[in-house]
Amino acid sequence: MRKELFLVTLCMMFLSCAEEGNDTSVQIIPAPSEVALTGKMVAFDKLTARKLVIDKSMPEEAYELRVSRGKISIKAGGEAGLFYAQQSIEQERQAYGDSLKVGRITDAPRFEWRGVMLDESRHFFGKETVKSLLDMMARYKLNKLHWHLTDSPGWRLEIKQYPLLTEVGGKGTHSNPDVPAAFYTQDDIREILAYAEARHIMVIPEIDMPGHAAAANRAYPEYSGGGSKKHPDFTFNPGKEETYVYLTNILKEVVQLFPAPYIHIGGDEVFFGTDDWDTDQAIQQLIADKKLDGKKGVERYFIERMDSVVHSLGKTLIGWDDVAEFNIDFERDIACWWHHNMPERLTHLYEKKMSVVLTPRMPMYFDYRQNESHKYGMRHWGTVTLDNVYAFPQDSVLAPTTKGLEACVWTEFIPDVKRLDYMVYPRLPAMAEAAWTDKARKHFDDFLLRLKREMVYYDSKGINYYQYFSPEGQEEPAPTLNDVFKD
């Protein structure tokens, strides 16, 4: 045993000696802005003089890390910058046998919004999985969790005034409508919010409306606007005054719970379920009373009204890009541009000076397959490969009001953690580097070198990542419903 330990130590000494003086790269993902290292290393516990300084003249998330023979000093714009410096230190220590490289690292993000969207309506993962995701987001300096908590398969957020939302609406998943109710209590939410806050991650809830509402409508059918044959009870009813009271009451509880300055109200794909609007009395009455332009006019009325509700609650509205068809508060609100096949919509958002989070299906939807050889996963629009994720965003999708990027983890076909890991890693670090690192500093080959080493960390954590470098023999975790992949 002792002999083994001696050999391991000798090996490590040899390795660190071998690296001394010549390797001035650094094992940090996302790659920092500026790296000026000597190539020498110093054991972390030898750095006895430690200095932390907040320098308000720097951006909040920026930091500078200096390591010399006996001293480590961190200067940062704020607590977030200090935290990110620690993340960089942690990654170095893990990679270099508890040592750091001597020299200076200066770092700051390219984009202010570096997000992940997690859909827990279609499948529910629970607190521990969300915390693990938050840990990995923090590791990669990602700072926004957009939490898709409501949709047709299940309502996952306790609302005290309307308990059936979770008792009834929380039942079922995309794979199985009969599983018992699964959801977050408000105490669970507070626990997760505290966990996220400690990692400098803002959590933005999404309460999808007026579409994607079938779970809520199972609980409170009196607010249903019906749907279509394929998507029954898909919408809330924009024709009823009571619907606005109901949704406002829900949002009031959401506002109490989530400190983020934003509420995401979805607003996507309403047309999936508006067939019944043609015959709904309240909706037809609304069209007549307000002289609305048919069903599109009803959707417009609903979104514009909810925009005012969100503002009256002191929050900024976020919506999928569908909402920008209407007269919302463009200069205040934020759109998630997901229609990659509609660049003209992005142009429209930018012309309106709207803040945009880039979430295009290609290449920000992580429910898509990451390799053509994969059997399972979305495939309609193509494949979301690691290099596509890394290369994003091209200059053509950027404008002064671009806020940043967000990877969207839709979970129709992600029923468990094993498959979740497989779809998220290693695309998440690629996306994080795309969101953090300046274009001039991004080099895919260099990223791959660091990624290879990062996978040692994944192994140590038991993360079931897609083995990008050696996929042969790796089992592809299957979703529950195999038959949906016939296309």
Q: According to the binding rule CB under 6 A, does residue 119 interact with ligand ACM?
A: no
DSSP summary character for residue 45: G
What is the closest distance, in whole angstroms, from the C-beta atom of residue 315 to ligand ACM in the complex? 20
Residue number with CB closer to ligand ACM (342 or 449): 342
Please give the Cα distance from 155 to 165 (Å, whole number). Answer: 6
What is the closest distance, in whole angstroms, from the C-beta atom of residue 321 to ligand ACM in the complex? 8
Residue number with CB closer to ligand ACM (19 or 269): 269
What is the closest distance, in whole angstroms, from the C-beta atom of residue 117 to ligand ACM in the complex? 9
Residue number with CB closer to ligand ACM (27 or 152): 152
Residue number with CB closer to ligand ACM (344 or 445): 344
What is the closest distance, in whole angstroms, from the C-beta atom of residue 408 to ligand ACM in the complex? 7
Amino acid at 9: T
Binder among 19, 60, 112, 269 for ligand ACM (CB under 6 A): 269
- Pick out residues in 371-410 that bind ligand ACM (CB under 6 A): none
DSSP summary character for residue 366: T
Residue number with CB closer to ligand ACM (62 or 364): 364
Residue number with CB closer to ligand ACM (338 or 468): 338
Residue number with CB closer to ligand ACM (272 or 457): 272
What is the closest distance, in whole angstroms, from the C-beta atom of residue 409 to ligand ACM in the complex? 11
Residue number with CB closer to ligand ACM (287 or 420): 420
- Pick out residues in 302-341 that bind ligand ACM (CB under 6 A): 320, 338
Amino acid at 472: E
Q: Is 60 a catalytic residue?
A: no
Upper half-sphere CA count for residue 309 (Cβ side, 13 Å) = 22
Q: Is 119 a catalytic residue?
A: no
Angle (nearest 5°) at CA 154 between 250 and 265: 45
What is the closest distance, in whole angstroms, from the C-beta atom of residue 29 to ligand ACM in the complex? 27
What is the closest distance, in whole angstroms, from the C-beta atom of residue 361 to ligand ACM in the complex? 7
Q: CB of 27 within 8 A of CB of 41?
A: no
Q: Is 212 a catalytic residue?
A: yes
What is the closest distance, in whole angstroms, from the C-beta atom of residue 208 to ligand ACM in the complex? 9
Query: How far lies 258's CA from each of 206, 247, 263, 264, 356, in Å?
Result: 11, 16, 9, 12, 21
DSSP summary character for residue 181: P
Upper half-sphere CA count for residue 232 (Cβ side, 13 Å) = 3
Phi/psi at 397 (5° precision): -105, 10
Binder among 92, 120, 151, 268 for ligand ACM (CB under 6 A): 268
Q: Which of 425, 427, 432 is nearest to 388 (CA)?
A: 427
| Contact track, ligand ACM, 207-236, x by CB under 6 A | ------------------------------
Q: Are strands 144-148 and 99-107 parallel, antiparallel or unpaired?
A: unpaired
Q: Which of 38, 199, 218, 9 is nearest to 116 (CA)?
A: 199
Instruction: Give the CB-nearest residue to ligand ACM.
Output: 268
Which residue among 123, 212, 231, 264 is the active-site one?
Answer: 212
Q: Which of 117, 112, 110 is nearest to 338 (CA)?
A: 117
What is the closest distance, in whole angstroms, from the C-beta atom of residue 444 to ligand ACM in the complex? 27
Q: Which of 179, 194, 174, 139 is nearest to 27 (CA)?
A: 139
CB atoms within 10 A of CB 199: 19
Residue number with CB closer to ligand ACM (169 or 360): 360
DSSP 187-252: HHHHHHHHHHHTTT-EEEEEEEESSS-HHHHHH-GGGEEE--SSSTT-EE-TT-HHHHHHHHHHHH
Which residue among 60, 191, 269, 304 is the active-site one?
Answer: 269
Q: Specify which residues 103 forms β-bridges with.
A: 37, 67
Size of the site for ligand ACM (CB under 6 A): 4
Query: Which residues lie closer than 8 Å to 354 by C-beta, 6 or more apart?
Result: 324, 330, 331, 333, 334, 335, 401
Please give the Cα distance from 445 to 387 (Å, whole number). Answer: 10
| Contact track, ligand ACM, 336-365, x by CB under 6 A | --x---------------------------
Which residue among 92, 107, 151, 406 is the active-site one?
Answer: 151
**Which positions touch ligand ACM (CB under 6 A)?**
268-269, 320, 338
Residues serving a catalytic function are 151, 212, 269
